Structure 1
Amino acid sequence: MTRTTAGLATALLAVVVALAGCSSPPGAAPSATAPTPTTTVLPTPVVEVPIVTATPPPARRSAPPVRVVVTTIGADVPVIPVGVEAGGFMELPVDPAVAGWYRYGADPSSAEGNIVISAHVDAPQYPIGPFSRLRELPAGASIEVTDASSAVHGYTVESVTYYPKTELPVDELFARDGTRNLVLITCGGDFDARTGRYADNVVVIATPRNGP
């Protein structure tokens, strides 16, 4: 018998011995005494979970922004809700003196998410818009947003950044959770007469002065 065969035999023997230990010895008569019935005891719960209704709470009513005031640059801009154009771009009012609020994102009273408001810097047959001066905003400047319920929400400018349009951090700017910033966007940088577009986006990030 080889060492491998001997090892296998030993292992099988151990299994047989173990199984034999679970039964009565050979020739032993089975016990005539019936087992005493026991009472089943349920485990004590560690944490009591409150019973709540399965009906979801009513949806929070949106309070869209209707006005943005940036005193430092003399901007007082009405705001209207906008969506997405067929090409996937954020829809904007034609008039640069009117800004658009991205209505699929947060509003000023939302517990989470960025409030995104954007406007053209200029447009054919219109004067240059107030958002053309966003690039002049210093850190610490004040911005006030009035919502449809007439509540005024205050923000403080944290940064002003130029992004090439192909590098705009869309997911970060349009975040729907984890942040409560105000994001103002317009065009900037060099103007390409062939395409009729500016090379960059000017992005202002402002943090809420009050609130949770």
Structure 2
Amino acid sequence: MSRAIAGVGASLAIALALTACGSSPGAAPSAPAPTATPLPTPAIEVPIAAATPPPARLPVPPVRVVAASIDVDMPVVPVGVEAGGFMELPVDPAIGGWYRFGADPATSDGNVVISAHVDAPQYPIGPLSRLRDLPAGETVEVTDAAGEVRRYQVQSVTYYPKADLPVDELFARSGTRNLVLITCGGQFDSRTGRYADNVVAIATPIM
């Protein structure tokens, strides 16, 4: 875009120069004109568009989640995806994992997803083991890395068989601004080392 604008400016300057220097065809030579004081050349400032796009917004990750009614107060760290396609989680059930490829609390669109194990070998049972007891209408607070606290109101707590978990809905990056808390629940399968269900709490921002 900047080259095109600059090119138009250059063509205009050349056209003006030719018009100023040319003479009418067939015109008789005239006597030299009196010497005049040359006028200053007009300057036109041409806006130049940046060649690179503006830098992407840096996320502000959540660092703490509190659900006082079920005695949950846990740190949160960014996580990604494991090799098997599962959401990566901290080994310690006392630490929540924020899905860093989704929304953060400061964004205006998309779900903020925080998850944690119910338990793990060598660790005590985790705080989110009580997620199933979180009543609708209760408040959950999320503190981000900038120190801002955002409050959410619980709308629902649902058990989903793992095969039926609505992943696209829960991890939506647009059209919603929910806080989604996820942990495991249901029967434990000793053969696979996994629980049969997921417990999911949905909370909406308190404006």
TM-score (norm 1): 0.73
Q: Which residue of 2 aligns with 1:209?
A: 206
CA–CA separation in structure 2 for the residues paired with 1:87 and 1:58: 32
Amino acid at match of 1:161: T
Q: Which residue of 2 aligns with 1:168?
A: 165
The percent of aligned pairs where both chains have the same amino acid is 74
Unaligned ranges ≥5, structure 1: 1-50
Q: Within 5 Å, which residues of 2 pair with 1:37-48?
A: none
Amino acid at match of 2:97: G
Unaligned ranges ≥5, structure 2: 1-46
Q: Which residue of 2 aligns with 1:134?
A: 131
Of 110, 116, 121 in structure 2, the residue corresponding to residue 119 of structure 1 is: 116
**Cα shift at 1:61:** 2.1
RMSD between superposed Cα atoms in Å = 1.5
The answer as to 2:154 corresponding to 1:149 is no
CA–CA separation in structure 1 for the residues paired with 2:64 and 2:139: 14
Q: Which residue of 2 aligns with 1:32?
A: none
**CA separation of 1:58 and 1:137: change in aligned 2, threshold 3 A:** same
**Cα shift at 1:146:** 0.3
- Secondary structure at the aligned position of 1:162 is classed as strand
Q: 1:61-90 deviations in whole A, cap 9, x for unaligned? A: 210000000000011010000000000000
Q: Name the count of aligned residue pairs.
A: 160
CA–CA separation in structure 2 for the residues paired with 1:119 and 1:130: 9
Q: Which residue of 2 aligns with 1:199?
A: 196
- Secondary structure at the aligned position of 2:120 is classed as coil
- Secondary structure at the aligned position of 1:110 is classed as coil
Q: 1:21-51 deviations in whole A, cap 9, x for unaligned? A: xxxxxxxxxxxxxxxxxxxxxxxxxxxxxx9
Q: Which residue of 2 aligns with 1:86?
A: 83
The answer as to 2:69 corresponding to 1:72 is yes
**CA separation of 1:118 and 1:53: change in aligned 2, threshold 3 A:** same
Amino acid at match of 2:124: P
Q: Which residue of 1 aligns with 2:93?
A: 96
**Cα shift at 1:53:** 5.3
TM-score (norm 2): 0.74
Between structure 1 and structure 2, the one with the greater Rg is: 1
**Cα shift at 1:115:** 0.3
